[in-house]
Chains A and B, each alone.
Chain A
């Protein structure tokens, strides 16, 4: 399924004294099967933007087309759009409300009219993807740790079998292992055909997992490209207060000191290869 955002603008409190432009003329297309990173400083409009993708917010002007159809045109079922495009918000503690974890994850599928067996099956599948212990299903969500709650919130959306998954900081507050687990599982989902849009402040994660990055600043889309292209726009990234991955910064500093390393290096493994290559051409002896 493709999502096309065309000249989208959103104004909060339009016509009042506190009128504020949250998004200004944003356009991009998400193709079926992409893994996109959406980055930008706090207040840049990321949350406002993703809420337009499944019709939680209505554009002040511009359109959002899902498979070519304007989601705000007559006859479109927003309920169906919201099933296909699942949104997981940033604060999981604000998204759980049922008595048990199972019921919480099952809320979506039950609402969609799944049979009890189907509900059971989708809850179980979602539980496995997020790596939640089975014994937690009977517990109250309010007894869980922050990391566990985050998994429950993601599972609740997954249980509805969305075609597009939009996640706002799914790994914030998780330890490195939990973070890697949940992101690896999202990657697996992506490989199984789901389109993923990941909102994150973690540039290492975005560089590693995403094929394409959208950069939002002050409500405007200021960059759209592969991680390598985006993170080597040094001035742009610095000026809006983001930070490329550490290894990219290392390469930048080595270049300043006269090394002829490539600058579009994003991961530890790539950095390792590139430094060895450069040491080889310099003739530095290894021990």
Chain B
């Protein structure tokens, strides 16, 4: 056990891929990161920066070449902890169609706890609670096939919740969704974080989704290059755009207005913030 039993601790993590020594690609090149229990963390970074590789280390889909990862005090290298870690840190992926296996929603959600050997009566309660938490209880008996993308992702999240994890890791869960689906998923995970205290680690290319986070982590070429609140991070506009990322549109507009002499906070990031700033002007 690690001293710091809370949250996730990553120290000196490296990982490379490749068939042979001559073709190895360094996906993670020394990552140090601490995520406190109950945090909502968003990970940003260009394609190929190591975000997914990092995420896969958090539930033992990958093991470090060097360095260590502790998940709620358990080192991922210790095989005795593998299942306990996976139960506590569930993953949701990009394409909802690849994650749903059963032909009825509630059976899909029950798959995880069944695998964990949970008592059937308890499974039923967990499935109900999980579907309630993602606001999909009315679809319990539906075929997943006919759900919208956002609904499918919420079912996938419910499947993780039924294992009663302390942490959910979402790897671009909104990339394929329409605007309403995206909003459904973002609101759902915000609720899980705020009401149930579940630690959320959310990987995305949508910069506006970073505004939901307590902490934003920016990766590039296998390293963490920046971390802080959404404001801290998007203040570094130049660095953000050098990395091939972007400041959300309202953030850009605030900056343009402020640098043109409009006396407002140059770092307003959301529509409501900027409306309030502008309406204070006399």
Binding site for B on A (CB under 8 A): 40-43, 90-91, 145-148, 169, 172-179, 201, 203-204, 241-243, 245-247, 249-250, 253-254, 257, 259, 268, 271-272, 275-276, 279, 282, 284-287
Contact = CB atoms under 8 A, between A and B. Distances in A.
Contact of A286 (B181, B250, B260): B260
B175 interface: yes
A52 B144 CA distance: 26
B179 interface: yes
Contacts of B172: 173
A276 B180 contact: no
B148 A253 contact: no
Contacts of B245: 175-177
Interface stretch (B55-63, B161-169, B272-280): B272-280
Top-3 shortest CB links A-B = A177-B244, A241-B180, A286-B261
Given A201-B178, A268-B252, A276-B260, A284 B271 contact: no
14 contacts: A41-B148, A42-B148, A169-B176, A173-B176, A174-B47, A176-B205, A177-B246, A178-B244, A203-B179, A241-B178, A243-B180, A246-B208, A253-B272, A253-B275
B188 interface: no
Given A241-B178, A243-B179, A246-B271, A284 B244 contact: no
B256 interface: yes
A286 B181 CA distance: 40
A246 B250 CA distance: 7
Interface string B241-281: 00011101110110011001111000000011011001101
A279 B281 CA distance: 9
Nearest to B281: A284
Interface residues of B, number: 44
B222 interface: no
A286 B261 CA distance: 5
A54 to B, nearest CB: 23
Given A146-B47, A271-B253, A43 B148 contact: yes
Contacts of B148: 41-43
Given A176-B246, A177-B244, A178-B244, A145 B47 contact: yes
Given A42-B150, A246-B249, 10 more contacts: A147-B48, A176-B244, A178-B46, A246-B250, A250-B274, A253-B272, A254-B278, A257-B279, A268-B252, A275-B262
Q: Which of B179, B246, B252, B261 has the most CB of A within 10 A?
A: B179
Contacts, number: 119
B118 to A, nearest CB: 32
A28 B278 CA distance: 42
Interface string B182-220: 110000000000000000000001011000000000000
Contacts of A176: 205, 207, 244-246
Q: Which of B248, B249, B282 has the most CB of A within 10 A?
A: B249
Interface of B: 45-48, 94-95, 148-150, 172, 175-183, 205, 207-208, 244-246, 248-250, 252-253, 256-257, 260-263, 271-272, 274-275, 278-279, 281-282
Nearest to A41: B178
A205 to B, nearest CB: 11
B46 A268 contact: no
Contacts of A146: 47, 94
Contacts of A41: 148, 178, 180-181
Given A253-B271, A287-B263, A91 B257 contact: no
Nearest to A267: B249
B205 A287 contact: no
Nearest to B172: A173
A113 to B, nearest CB: 35
B47 A268 contact: no
Contacts of A43: 148
Contacts of A91: 95
A41 to B, nearest CB: 5
A257 B256 CA distance: 22
B205 A173 contact: yes
Contact of A268 (B94, B95, B249): B249
Contacts of B45: 175
A41 B176 CA distance: 11
A40 B207 CA distance: 22
Contact of A201 (B47, B177, B249): B177
A174 B179 CA distance: 17
